[in-house]
Structure 1
């Protein structure tokens, strides 16, 4: 199993921080970025082969590959998304489709979270589970969150921001375990998703799978300090988490 990080987006709501950097490299502490934290998480759970999907400001990541490899004891492979500034992340994840057969722990490049999230997903492996989402079932939800409904009988039923928060089981935090057995189905679903609308999220690809009868499971992450960095307020929260 390898680590996979989506770090191709432009992060326009974080300008001027992202004028020359992808969100994954915006500083959130002394010498620390989201990519630093994610690579450290992978290394902590024993995953040392990591692929990073790059696009916007890719050269900033490329210039730090050797530094990251030496600092965290990982081997990095970069996957280039040539449409990162105009298309959404369903296409970005599809760009890494050839790596899915290895089994991957996927993490969004804008989510600050502890290694306990990766551990929870790895602990959830087994049986016939092919995909498992990290779910925050503790947080009070509003309109912006990526909400999930799940049942023991059928697994994930809906994953969308466009849901009544009161109906949701929890919030998907942007970290997924994808087993090799899911690789072909997920790649096909992602392609169908971006072909339908290149501005869709990869979570729309997950919903496509669910609608086709593919079971996706979840695992709760417990009470965890984490944040998805979309704007300056989120960036401040990330800095509070990293430097309390």
Structure 2
């Protein structure tokens, strides 16, 4: 079995962050979203992995390398335009050959991993196995209809009137039969080759597509609120540790202070992580806050936020529900203090009242 990881796309819902950074590399709990998926694939015993990349291919390749750090053997597959999930399968045809494969969307996080999902496919060997989750508003997802015996009987892509509340999660298992389906489907109204149409083709041709309804937590990190929610969930799973320098400070709850970090005269309330090389001075951090490597935080209060590498924040109280890009600098002005909520792209320079 192989793995196909989709890491193309422009990430329009995360702009301005994604003007300069691949959406799959935004960190949650100080680890890029993509890395969570690669670790799940390796844990499931799948090693040969193709990563579909687009305009941000150089960033993805620099971050992942040959995959050996994850226990994977990684190849990169160039997709000129993001023309749909089925199109990604199409351009990966030579890499996949006739092997079974797991397809994982690189901006998704499945918190319980995919090992059980992969093992079930290996045992039952359907043409396709689709991971599903119950959602409150299925109109934003691919939606599946499932029979009493666990077959997927129909699929809709972002329907106005969903026929179930079972959303298609960003993980799929396929046999080589999917290649015939992908070759047969036509572009949808939005101009893409939809994987839901390809699975529907399998169903229409009497090939078995099975549902695997998950009970754990899954998130698509396509927008800022979801990215912050994933950050919260990842931080909750961290084991407290302190390998940096903590002086005259109070550390409460699940807090990770990474090697080389310095926390002085501050309060850090978990769940939270302070990245390697970061300095936190006379500040309050957390809860639910990730401070990445080499950041500088002084005289500030930051909560429920993601601060990316090398950002500098001085005199901001409070800052909350924010996603701060790389190399951002935020300083205060003499104006009266107020609350702030920011989404800043890399290398921004901002002055705010504080």
Q: Does the alignment reach a TM-score above 0.5?
A: yes
Structure with bigger helix share is 1
Band the TM-score falls in, shorter-chain normalisation: 0.7 to 0.9
1:147 maps to what in 2?
143
After superposition, residues 23-34 of structure 1 pair within 5 angstroms as 23-30=23-30, 32-34=31-33
1:126 maps to what in 2?
123
Give the greater-gyration-radius structure (CA). 2
Secondary structure class of the residue paired with 2:123? coil
Residue 115 of structure 1 and its aligned partner are, at CA, apart by: 4.5
The two structures, once aligned, show a CA RMSD in angstroms of 2.3
Residue 119 of structure 1 and its aligned partner are, at CA, apart by: 2.0
Structure 2 unaligned blocks of 5 or more: 237-354
The answer to whether structure 1 residue 73 and structure 2 residue 65 are counterparts is no
Normalised by the length of structure 1, the TM-score is: 0.85
Q: 1:144 to 1:216 in 2, by over 3 A?
A: same
Asked whether the equivalents of residues 121 and 176 of structure 1 are also in contact (C-alpha less than 8 Å), the reply is no
Task: Determine the C-alpha separation between the residues in 1 that align with 2:71 and 2:116.
Answer: 18
Q: For residues 184-227 of structure 1, give each alpha carbon's deviation from its aligned partner in whole angstroms, at most 9, with x where no partner exists.
A: x32232233355664242222212322333221111221x1211
After superposition, residues 33-112 of structure 1 pair within 5 angstroms as 33-66=32-65, 69-84=67-82, 87-98=83-94, 99=96, 101-112=98-109
After superposition, residues 159-238 of structure 1 pair within 5 angstroms as 159-160=155-156, 161-162=158-159, 164-165=161-162, 167-168=163-164, 170-179=166-175, 183=176, 185-194=177-186, 198-222=191-215, 224-238=216-230
Q: 1:119 to 1:154 in 2, by over 3 A?
A: closer
Normalised by the length of structure 2, the TM-score is: 0.60
1:6 maps to what in 2?
6
Task: Determine the C-alpha separation between the residues in 2 that align with 1:217 and 1:145.
Answer: 18
Structure 1 unaligned blocks of 5 or more: none
Aligned residues: 233
Residue 169 of structure 1 and its aligned partner are, at CA, apart by: 6.0
Secondary structure class of the residue paired with 1:171? strand
Higher mean alpha-carbon deviation, 209-218 vs 150-159, is at 150-159
Residue 46 of structure 1 and its aligned partner are, at CA, apart by: 1.6
Task: Determine the C-alpha separation between the residues in 2 that align with 1:172 and 1:196.
Answer: 17
